[in-house]
């Protein structure tokens, strides 16, 4: 299954869909920003990954586009899975940069990694932050990473 709206409507080309959405939102007078995040869940030996592009309208709500992928016989450790999530988010964010720059749309990359060292996901915090910031993106982790920890999480539950 490829990119889709939350309603299930397919989006054959995510770059085109994002640009068309930006143009529509600007025409409607909305000030928008974009957040990208990925979450995953293990189900037996299958890892479910969901990546979302979240469109936030200033003072007017928002909506998401979703890509869900299932990987059978996933063998990665928790740290590896956290870094796979970050990698998937960057793989979406990077090609969107020219479009977002053209329309001066701010973007953040959210990681479903807890900043509290008492949580298991914290094991990947330094590497994830370095990866995202090193690619030139704004970084958010839990509890501020709603794109991954709330939006994407709803898709893989």
pLDDT tens string 13-60 = 999 999 999 999 999 999 999 999 999 999 988 999 999 999 999 999
Please answer whether residues 137 and 90 qualify as being in contact, where contact means their C-beta atoms are separated by less than 8 angstroms. Answer: yes
Interatomic CA distance for residues 122 and 115, integer angstroms: 6
In sequence order, which ranges of the chain are alpha helices (DSSP H)? 14-27, 78-102, 125-134, 146, 153-156
The pLDDT tens digits for 76-113 are: 899 999 999 999 999 999 999 999 999 999 999 999 99
Strands 107-114 and 32-43, by their bridges, are parallel
Q: Which two tokens stand for residue 129?
A: 């932050």
Interatomic CA distance for residues 101 and 62, integer angstroms: 20
Interatomic CA distance for residues 42 and 77, integer angstroms: 11
Q: Which two tokens stand for residue 136?
A: 């030139």
**Does the pLDDT at position 136 exceed 90?**
yes
Please answer whether residues 21 and 34 qualify as being in contact, where contact means their C-beta atoms are separated by less than 8 angstroms. Answer: no
Question: What pLDDT is attached to residue 21?
Answer: 98
Question: What pLDDT is attached to residue 45?
Answer: 87
The residue whose two tokens read 């298991």 is: 120
- Count the Cβ atoms, other than its own, within 10 Å of residue 58: 10
- Count the Cβ atoms, other than its own, within 10 Å of residue 14: 18
């Amino acid at each position: 299954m490829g990119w889709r709206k939350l309603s299930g409507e397919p989006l054959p080309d995510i770059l085109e869909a994002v640009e068309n959405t930006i143009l529509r939102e600007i025409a409607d007078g909305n000030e928008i920003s974009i957040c990208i995040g990925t979450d995953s869940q293990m189900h037996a030996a299958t890892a479910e990954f969901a990546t979302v592009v979240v469109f936030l309208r200033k003072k007017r709500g928002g909506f998401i586009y979703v890509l869900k992928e299932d990987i059978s016989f996933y063998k990665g450790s928790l740290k590896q899975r956290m870094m796979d999530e970050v990698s998937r988010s960057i793989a979406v964010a990077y090609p969107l940069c020219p479009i977002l720059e053209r329309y001066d749309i701010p973007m953040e990359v959210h990681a479903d990694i807890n900043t509290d060292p008492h949580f298991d996901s914290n094991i990947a915090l330094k590497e994830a932050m370095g990866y995202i910031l090193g690619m030139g993106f704004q970084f958010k982790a839990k509890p501020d990473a709603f794109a991954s920890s709330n939006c994407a999480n709803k898709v893989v539950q």
